[in-house]
């Protein structure tokens, strides 16, 4: 008999939902006990409804599950949410009220003061916010939020630099993959042979969320980091992988070598480093002049590592660099699974199998 912890997936048929299915199908600690989607799909077999887009075969055990409505109770101590922001709010709250740990990719609750916005290697200590959340909201469960996909890679790469040198100013110009917009998402007529220099709401998310992630816990919740962020976001003709050019100013002059050392040596806490989904190292430095590149470097650390290259002086701020993260793994499903693993390792969620 399986001793794995049962989990469920909300919004299981979409792009991120499929990624959850793929990552959880052979997870050492979790097993998928239920998949849920819109009412139109509920009652039907997952394998008959899903337009499966992953390169690996749809796991047969999950293909045979009957799709459930997105309403509690569902079997599963964790509810991974890949719901649309339009509907996520009340559903996620209902699950949390009913006792589930909701780990969500949706933007809805990210900026609420009692909701931790987590990158385990960077701010696992923010997890304690859920104690306050549960008390104040009277929930037996809790909501834990995964950052926006371009923010996840950026804030992870900034974490060791902020800790060591104190970020004071930040520029970022992104080149983001179409999978970040889900399916059907970006029409091919918009992106073939083209770049679209606008992604709705994305610049605000980067500016807001990166400060919360890199903020410090205070009596009133997270005190966001104070640095201003100037984000330019662009959609490019890439399937997976967000590439970001970054210039950073620090509290003091920082040489590229110092920054590279901080990036290279960065590890999450021992507890985080041992989670099944944690890459080792979380940040990979690449010294080649033309790297990282989405197609070549995306799968490092199973899609959970962020690759940083071209660390060099910046004539305007202090340092320039390029970073790459897998937007549907580190920036979505993979890190959400890692957050749930953190709940286990922290003793909050059953016993580690």
For a copy of itself, give the closer residue by CB, 116 or 282.
282
Residue in 6, 132, 183, 348 binding a copy of itself, rule: CB under 8 A: 183
For a copy of itself, give the closer residue by CB, 92 or 240.
240
The answer to whether residues 221 and 129 touch, using CB atoms and an 8 Å cutoff, is yes
> Per the residue annotation, which of 27, 126, 242, 326 is the catalytic one?
242
Annotated catalytic residue 271: no
Least Å distance, CB 43 to a copy of itself, is 22
The answer to whether residues 165 and 204 touch, using CB atoms and an 8 Å cutoff, is no
The residue behind tokens 């900034």 is: 158
DSSP 95-114: HHHTT-EEEE-SSTTTT-TT
Options 38-46, 71-79, 235-243, 337-345: segment touching a copy of itself (CB under 8 A)? 235-243
**Binding of a copy of itself by 132 (CB under 8 A):** no
CA distance 26 to 122: 26
For a copy of itself, give the closer residue by CB, 219 or 315.
315
**Binding of a copy of itself by 178 (CB under 8 A):** yes
Residue 249 region by backbone torsions, left for phi larger than 0, else alpha for psi between -120 and 50, else beta: beta
**Binding of a copy of itself by 169 (CB under 8 A):** yes
The answer to whether residues 262 and 268 touch, using CB atoms and an 8 Å cutoff, is no
Within residues 297-336, the interface with a copy of itself by CB under 8 A covers: 298-299, 309-310, 314-317, 320, 322
> Per the residue annotation, which of 70, 149, 162, 326 is the catalytic one?
149
**Binding of a copy of itself by 261 (CB under 8 A):** no
Compute and round to an integer the Cα radius of gyration of the chain: 19
Q: How far is CA 91 from the centre of its chain?
A: 20
| 98, 104, 307 from 8: Cα distances, Å | 14, 12, 31
**Binding of a copy of itself by 352 (CB under 8 A):** no
How are beta strands 5-10 and 30-37 bridged, if at all? Answer: parallel
For a copy of itself, give the closer residue by CB, 184 or 347.
184
Within residues 60-79, the interface with a copy of itself by CB under 8 A covers: none
Burial class (CB in 10 A: 0-12, 13-18, 19+), 60: exposed
**Binding of a copy of itself by 255 (CB under 8 A):** no
Annotated catalytic residue 314: no
Q: For residue 278, give both structure tokens.
A: 């944690």
Catalogue the active-site residues: 149, 242
Query: Footprint of a copy of itself on this chain (CB under 8 A)?
Result: 15, 53, 55-56, 169-171, 173, 175, 178-179, 183-198, 200, 207, 228-230, 232, 234, 236-239, 243, 245, 247, 289-296, 298-299, 309-310, 314-317, 320, 322
């Amino acid at each position: 008999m399986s001793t794995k912890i049962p989990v469920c997936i909300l919004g299981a048929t979409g792009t991120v939902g499929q990624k959850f299915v793929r990552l959880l199908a052979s997870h050492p600690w979790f097993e998928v006990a239920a998949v849920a989607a819109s009412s139109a799909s509920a009652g039907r077999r997952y394998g008959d409804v899903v337009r499966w887009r992953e390169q690996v075969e749809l796991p047969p055990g999950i293909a045979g599950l009957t799709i459930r409505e997105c309403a509690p109770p569902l079997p599963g101590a964790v509810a991974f949410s890949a719901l649309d922001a339009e509907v996520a709010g009340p559903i996620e709250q209902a699950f949390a009220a009913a006792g589930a740990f909701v780990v969500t990719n949706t933007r809805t609750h990210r900026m609420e003061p009692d909701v931790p916005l987590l990158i385990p290697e960077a701010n696992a200590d923010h997890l304690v916010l859920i104690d306050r959340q549960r008390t104040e909201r009277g929930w037996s469960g809790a909501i834990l939020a995964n950052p926006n996909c371009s923010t996840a890679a950026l804030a992870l790469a900034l974490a060791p630099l902020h800790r060591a040198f104190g970020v004071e100013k930040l520029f970022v110009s992104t080149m983001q993959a179409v999978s970040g917009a889900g399916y059907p998402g970006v029409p091919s007529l918009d992106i073939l042979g083209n770049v679209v220099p606008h992604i709705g709401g994305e610049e605000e998310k980067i500016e807001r969320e990166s400060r919360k992630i890199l903020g410090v816990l205070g009596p009133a919740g997270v005190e966001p980091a104070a640095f201003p962020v100037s984000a330019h976001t662009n959609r490019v003709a890439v399937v997976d992988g967000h590439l970001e050019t970054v210039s950073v100013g620090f509290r003091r002059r920082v040489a590229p070598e110092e920054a590279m050392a901080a990036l290279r040596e960065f590890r999450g806490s021992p507890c985080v480093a041992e989670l099944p989904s944690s890459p080792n190292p979380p940040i990979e430095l690449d010294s080649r002049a033309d790297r990282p590149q989405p197609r070549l470097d995306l799968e490092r650390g199973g899609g959970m590592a962020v690759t940083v290259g071209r660390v060099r002086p910046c004539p305007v701020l202090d340092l320039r660099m390029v970073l790459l993260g897998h937007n549907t793994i580190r920036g979505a499903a993979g890190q959400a699974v890692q957050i749930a693993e953190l709940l286990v390792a922290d003793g909050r969620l059953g016993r580690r199998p």
